[in-house]
Amino acid sequence: MSTPHGLGSTLSLRTLALAVASMLAFAANSVLCRLALHDHAIDPFSFGMIRLASGAVTLFLIQKLRDGPALPLRSDWPAALALFAYVAFFSFAYLVLSTGTGALILFGAVQLTMLGAGLRNGERPGRLAIAGMLLAIAGLVYLLSPGITAPPLLPAACMAAAGIAWGIYSLRGQKIANPLAATARNFALAAPLSVAAVLLTAGQAHASTKGVALALTSGMLTSGIGYVIWYAALPGLSAMRAATMQLSVPLIAALGGLLLIEEAITLRLAIAAISILGGIALVLARPPAKSQQDLR
């Protein structure tokens, strides 16, 4: 008999369906943001503000219907600040970056941040994991290196910062007993910060009906409900399976950008995607060796 949720266990059809739906939601966040900013239907800070506020309301209502009291008592301001930084940098970067390039930088930075945290906590990677980390870093360096098809450095740096912020946010949430309630609280805390950002850039703020609709869809559907679906899938997934599935998001996002925004998939992006996602897959292929602390 296989161990529950282990790599050798069989995924239920329900878990698989929920996981696939959540990956589509995560990729849709990139497509919706790029679609709104590509057409100049809204400015990035207004998009982020509407996304956070509508996501907070959606998560509040869902958590209240499911679990009773909608918000945990303790506020996690570092997590809320990380969430705000993720949304702000994410939106600003998509003013310029293509959907696929942005998603690749984002999720590459997320995974490398979380892997780096594991190293800091004493995890000892094997040779395969070390090779994978070097391959992923090389892919990011290649993607951002100077050249005709290289993405602009500032937007790329902003998306990398968004990935680091999301990685930090994810790490802070690993030991939370009620992630849905905590996420609702963090969205509620981050929303006023986004309002302040809009006020500080009021001279550049603008929003059409289309832009507001795309931001609401991102906040309520692909962020709010998308996170609920992901939480429902997680109990049936091992940590390694959950991490591996997220490697599909940049490719789904690139396909969405190709179909909906007619963005090209360049050779540089394709090579970088193979290097980054392949490297991370190597890291996830085997569990980390025990840390020195575990051996005591």
* Per-residue pLDDT at 160: 94
Residue 8 pLDDT greater than 70, yes or no: no
Residues of the chain with pLDDT > 70, as a percent, come to 84
Class of residue 12 by CB neighbours under 10 A (exposed 0-12, middle 13-18, buried 19+): exposed
The Cα diameter of the chain in Å comes to: 63
* Per-residue pLDDT at 3: 41
Query: Do residues 222 and 269 make contact, with C-beta atoms less than 8 angstroms apart?
Result: no
Give dist(CA 252, CA 104) in Å, integer.
Answer: 10
How is residue 284 written in tokens? 């996830």
Model confidence over 210-262: pLDDT tens digits?
Answer: 999 999 999 999 998 887 888 788 777 766 667 667 778 888 888 888 888 88
Measured CA to CA in angstroms, residue 206 lies from 4, 46, 47, 168 at distances of: 50, 7, 10, 31
Model confidence over 32-62: pLDDT tens digits?
Answer: 999 999 889 999 999 999 999 999 999 988 8
Q: What is the mean pLDDT of residues 101-117?
A: 84
Tell me the sheet residues that pair with 106.
Answer: none
